[in-house]
Structures are given as structure tokens and as C-alpha cells.
Amino acid sequence: MVSLVEILRQAGKELYRHQLDFVSDALWLPRPRLLLADDVGLGKTIEALLLVKALMELGRVNHVLVVVPRAVLSQWAGELEKFEIPYFLVESSEFPLGHRVYLVTMDRAKVPDYLEALSRIAWDLVVVDEAHKIRLDTQRANLAHLCRKAGGCLLLTATPHTGNEEDYRFLTSLVGGLVVRREKRDVEEYEGRRIFPRLSYWVVQVRASREEGQALFNLLAKLRSADVEPIVRVVVEKRAMSSPASFFKTLGRVVGGVCDAAALEEGELDACIGNLAGWRDLVELAGRFASAPDRKLDALRKLLGLWRGRKVLVFTEYAATAEYLFQQLTQGCRVVDSGDGFAKADCGGMGVMYATAKAREKIDVNVEASLLASSFDTAVFISTDIMSEGVNLQMYDVVVNYEVVWSPTKHVQRVGRIWRFGQKADSVLVVDMVLRAGGERDEYTMYLDLLEKLYNISLRALPPQSYGEFEIYELSEDQLRKIIEIGSSAYLKDADVFTALSDGERMKELRRRIEAILKAKEEVRWKSKALVESGLKAKLGYPYDLRPEPGGGYYLAEVEYYSAKQPVYRESVLVRLETPLSRSREIKKGVFREGAVDWDFVEVESGEVREDEREEVARLVHMNVWMDLKKYLDNVRDLLHLGDIEYKLVRIRRARVEGVGTVAVEEFEERVEAEVRRSRNIERTEKAAVNCVREWLRRNGYVVKHDYFSGPRPFDMVVLKNGVMYVVEIKGKWIGKREEPFSFTANEIDFASRYPDRYIICTAYVEGDRCVELSCIPFAQFQREWVLETVRGIEYKYNARRRSSS
């Protein structure tokens, strides 16, 4: 049976209490079936893979299917590799059998021939990322069959409720109603410290020009009597209300195509508008109003002027708008790269780029967004919703929604790209731009409906508008004026913000609804801080207050836990019985949980364990480990739907803990001098290796952008070739130590795994000041030629050894 502590250590990164709590809870479920609905950016992928790894090593699952959206396929593939979980990528409905883990995109899995092929396998566990996409009115509802049929099912989504109660009930029914949700405030409460930056939320009202208001009025009047599909009408109204000027100016760029519910959800709604692009009345209006001033574009320019030095993501639902904004914002700038669906410009201290769905076939959009942020003091990345889900963009600190986001699910996903683990900024900003045209039906008026919808959603998925600082601005006549500001609090407990926008009976009802939601929200929290802390103490002994001291008199007890007769995990417990050492000192008895022990210093001793010793060790394990664990599990029995629980003490052996004794003064001084000589040799080897690599780079057409720096970053150099950026990691070693491995930090391997084709590893064997052998290859090739071994100590690192030629 597998040790849970060892599996948790294999994560290779800092784990937070909510992650430890989830995995150590889920393993007690005989057939894990639950919806993990943690807030965006809280590490759901890590939690899921920890659970998969544990279940596989326990032998509880042998056939695992992982279903993910296309946008996050490469991210999941990389994480599976980091966890050393072999997998097969399904790209045909005729895929081979015999693998333990299969990875497939959601849009492939829903297709009948793929679904039929996948259904032939008796899956022990099905994992579905972005599970909110499984809805009754979509083809993805077919994926519910895989979940129901499987032995276990793990659904992942930060937005379980999309505003439709029936869809939510359908989703939760797949897992028997077991929903686990923690928000950012829960995580900070569990950790007892601030982890996430402050979130500021702005609503910027833009007053339309007279011409824009007239254009919108005329268009809506014509649409009321037009014979068009309802969904097309909705999209055209949304687009026109957002900015009549840009709507008419970009109308000629779009062509017709599929316009259905899926298109409405996924974004890039140009095809819907293209269905009306040739409509005579629309073309006539375009001719009349194409020269109207675009006040929302002017507002965006003004806002960008306020955000010098910041990294800004601008989201739009329309590919034509993304291109239009890029062209308008980069007038007078130098375009440095372009292609179908993307372009990048250098505007001096500001870099601007746009990307649409077409760009995914040409460039790695995630990498390009990161490079833009790192290359310019001010960066503006304009994107459609290809960047809104599953992409980590914590190098940006401002999100602008150029049109109102009518889907609360999409809004939460967009904000989650920057407000997440790894965000270094002290504060992040979310901006909704809203056009006020003065009519009975404009974007501003409908925005009130959106806010009402957001606060009407089930309590398990309140949107980011309910966090932090809330400010409303009005932009008119080139003046940005603050209307209202509500100070920072856990949640908005007052409807003043809405009163500033409107009044009347509708607002009174909305106020009552918000108050009811906030009152009831505490009732649906997953666990209190006290229950999480007591649970971690009972399950893992965490945090580890006591650690064993060097010496003998220890006993190694191996404990196995079971739930409904299924193995949960194993734990090694170190026990020390009360023993007199001398007249002046006596060893006190103690019980040390597995995570509190450095097992590299524990030696198992020979010799029989007497019956009275065995009984006392068993008693201490029962009283100090099992009784606390049982008490906790009884407290959460209904929450987790637990059955019978038990444990077995399978083995007891004698042990001792090795220690480091004192050192004589002479030995200390010799050691110091030896370390000085060693460091000088290492420095000489390193300099020789760097010089060899510089020469190799020059010969092979690379230009150094940032020279060698052996500091706290995951690479040593940054270089360019043909305008493409690469990073270089240099590993040098004396030729006499050729058989020893090269060492890499966990940070280096993590970075290389994310960008395997842009991360060059140079290994150099050195004699004196010259290189005897040099090899420089991308990390993707390095992985094929070298074996990476995980080394655990105070910090994780990796040793790389060349694969045997045989």
C-alpha cells in the first residue's frame, strides 16, 4: 500500500492546506465521485492529479480517462508528465488499448464515434475539466454517460452554476450531489495570511456621442421588425449596443457562418453578424454612421494612458473588434510580427498584440502573451475568449472587458486568468466598459440586468464583482469622473452600488435578494477553518510540531487505513516508548507522524520486539493516531458520504534515528579550506563552460539578449535567433566527474517543461579552461536522451543522467 505523505511530496511544489485537505479526504471515498468547484486559480489541476496518482499507486484505478477543453490540452499534458503519469493522447476514434491513462479533448469525446469507442472501456475514473460545459442543451451532455458509467467521476470547474438551476442540478446529479468549493478568502483563512493581491473592480460608463445614440436607435428599430433568427438578433443587438461606431466600421470585415448556442457561448461571434452583413438596411446604416466618433475606443485610450507600466488584457467577443482595436491603438507604431489572426507592434515603451482563434494554428498564443509582458514596460494583449479559460496569465494585472460579459461563467474565467496563485502584483484591476446611449434599451440599461443575474446565481458561484473594492466611473467629454466607491470588504453587503445606478421597487427587491444570499452563503461553505485544521492534524499530523531527536529506543509502526474494505493509504509512524537512560535523564514517550520524520536518518534495527513493547506501541498508535482520525471522519461522515472505516497495524520493528555529532576545531578548519578550494574549482569550470557556450551560440546564429547570470531564475541566458527568443541553461562539469549526473532545480525543470522547444540545455565537460565536449539541445530532445531522477531533500531537485545507448 502507498504512503500518502510520499505522494504529496511528489507534487514537487508548495501545497496549500486546502489542497492537502481535499486529497486526504477524497481518498476515503471508496469510489471517488465529486464536483471540485474551487475558485479560479486555486490549483484544481494539481489536486486532481495528486488524487489520480494516489489512486493509481494504490491499485484502486487502472483505467483513467481525462477529458479537457482543447485550450488546456497542452497544459494537462505537461502536468501529467510532471507527475510522471504516462498517458495516451486520443486523436482518433480507433485508439489502441493497453494504456492506464487516456487524455482526450472535450469536443472529440462528445462526437458519436469517439463517444462509442470510449464507452467500450470500463473506466475506473473519469476526470472532466471545465465541467460546466456539460449542459443539457449541448452535445457535450453526452459526456454525462461516461461519468455515470465509470467507477468514479471527478468534475472540475470554478463556475459550476452558469445561471441555469436545471443545468446545475444535472451536473451535480452526476456525482451524487457531493460538491467541494473553496474560495480565495477560504484559502487565506486556512493559511492565516494574505496570499492573493487586492482586487479592484471598476465599471466605466462611457457616454455615447449623439451620432452613436442615433445609430443605435435606428438599428434597434429596424431589428424589431426584421425577419431574422432570434440568436442572430441577440448577437447583433449586443454588438451594436457595445459600440455602434465600431460595429458599423467593422461590418464589412465579417462573413457568415454557423451561429448557434455553442457559438454564443464560446465567443468570436463574428459569424452571427456575418449572417446580416449583406442586409440592405444594415449596409445603408453603416454608410450613414461609419464616420461617427467611437467614444468607447477613446475611453480605452484614456484608460491605457493611466496604466503606464502595467500589463493589460483586453477581452472582446469579436475577432473583427480585436483586429480593429489593434489597428487603432498602434497607429504610428512598428508592426514586428503578423499573420492570420494575430499581429504584434512595438510602440516604444508599449507593446501591443492581438490574437484570435485563427492564431492558434500559427503560434503558441500563451507563450506570445508571456513574451509580450516580459519584453515591454507596458503591455496590451487584445484577445477573444481563446484566452479566457484554463490559461495562466498571472504576469498581467489588468483585465478589461471591452463589451459587457453577459455570461457570469465567462466573466469569472476571464478574471481568473490574473487573480490566481503566482500573481506578484500587490493589486489587480478588473474593468467593465459600458456604453450609455440614453435610450430605453442600451448596454448600460442591460448591464443592470446582468448585475441582477449575477447575484441571483446559486451561492456556490458568486462572481468577482462581490469581492474587494468596487468603483464606478463615468467618462464624458474626455473626463473620467468617479461616481461611487465602496471600500474593501470580504463581500459587498450593501446595495448602494446599485442605488447609484437606478432606484425604485426593482432595486428594493434586489437589495433583499442580495442580503438573503449573503446571509445564506456561510451555510454552504465547505468547511470551517477549525475543521480543516483538525482534519489535517488527524489525517497527516500537519503541521508538524514535534520531530524526533537522534538516538535509539524507537519503533517503526506501519499502519494501513481502509474505507468500506477499500485501501485508503499507508502511513509509517515512529513511536518512542518511555525509557530511563541514566539517573539524570529519561526519554519521554512520543508518537511522530510520517511527515514529521526525515526518513533518510532512520535506520531499522534487527532484534525481536517483545509482546509488551508491541502492545504499548499499538496502544499509543490507537490513542494518538486512530482515535483523533476516527473522530474527524465521524464529523465529516455525512459530508463525504462515508461508509465503514478501519485501520490495521501491520508491522512493528525496532529503529533508531541517526544524528550528527560535534566536530573538533582542527577538522572544522580543514573542512572550511577544502570547501574554499572546491568552490574555486567549480567557478573555474563554470566560466570555461560559459565561454564555450557563448562561442557555440555565435557560430550557430544566436544573438545574446541577456548575458549569463547565475542568479535565482530558471535559466542562465536569453538569446534571439531569427527574431525568436530562446533561453539557455548551462551545466558544466569537470571531465573527471563524467559519470556523475547534472543537477537541475525544480524551478528550472518546471520552466523547461512549459517551453520545451524554447529552452536550450548546454552540457559541457571541461578540463582546465577548455571544453572537451559540448552539447546544446532543446529540452524536448534532452528529455529523450537523458533520464531525470527526482531528488528530495530540503528542496526538490532533479539529477539528469544520459540514457544508455543499449
pLDDT in tens, 550-582: 888 899 999 999 999 888 889 999 999 876 544
| pLDDT on residue 483 | 53
CATH superfamily entry for domain 31-191: Tandem AAA-ATPase domain (3.40.50.10810)
Choose among 538, 544, 541, 489: nearest CA to 518. Answer: 489
CATH number of 198-206+289-524: 3.40.50.300
**Cell 539524570, residue?**
584
| pLDDT on residue 681 | 82
Distance CA 730, CA 689 (A): 7
Beta strands 786-791 and 797-802: pairing type? antiparallel
| Cα Rg of the chain (Å, integer) | 30
Residues of the chain with CATH 3.40.50.10810: 31-191
The two counts, helices (H) then strands (E), for the chain are: 29, 32
Residues of the chain with CATH 3.40.1350: 665-802
Choose among 543, 467, 473: nearest CA to 501. Answer: 473
3-state DSSP helix/strand/coil percent for the chain, to nearest 5? Answer: 40, 25, 35
Does CATH place domain 665-802 in 3.30.450? Answer: no
| pLDDT on residue 250 | 60
Residues of the chain with CATH 3.40.50.300: 198-206+289-524
Distance CA 480, CA 473 (A): 6
**Residues of the chain falling short of pLDDT 50:** 255, 264, 266, 455-468, 484-504, 506-507, 510, 513-514, 516-523, 581-585, 660-663, 792-795
pLDDT digit string, tens, across residues 79-134? 898 888 999 999 999 999 999 999 999 889 988 999 999 999 999 999 999 888 88
Residues with Cβ within 8 Å of 387's Cβ and at least 6 positions away in sequence, in order, are 313, 315, 355, 365, 366, 369, 381, 393, 417
Question: Cβ(216)–Cβ(247) under 8 Å?
Answer: no
Distance CA 649, CA 663 (A): 40
Residue 606 C-beta-side C-alpha neighbours within 13 Å: 0
| pLDDT on residue 520 | 39
Q: Which helix (H) or strand (E) holds 555?
A: strand 551-563
All three cell numbers of 402: 471591452
Question: Cβ(547)–Cβ(592) under 8 Å?
Answer: yes
- Backbone φ and ψ for 517, nearest 5 degrees, come out as -65, -50
Q: In what order do the strands lie in the sheet with 724-734?
A: 703-706, 717-721, 724-734, 759-767, 770-778
In angstroms, what CA-CA distances link 62 with 23, 51, 78, 354, 788?
A: 18, 13, 21, 43, 25
Distance CA 515, CA 495 (A): 9
Question: Cβ(23)–Cβ(197) under 8 Å?
Answer: no
| pLDDT on residue 789 | 77
Instruction: Specify burial of residue 799 (Cβ count, 10 A radius: 0-12, 13-18, 19+).
Output: middle
Residue 309 burial (CB count, 10 A)? 11
| pLDDT on residue 433 | 87
Residues with Cβ within 8 Å of 108's Cβ and at least 6 positions away in sequence, in order, are 90, 91, 114
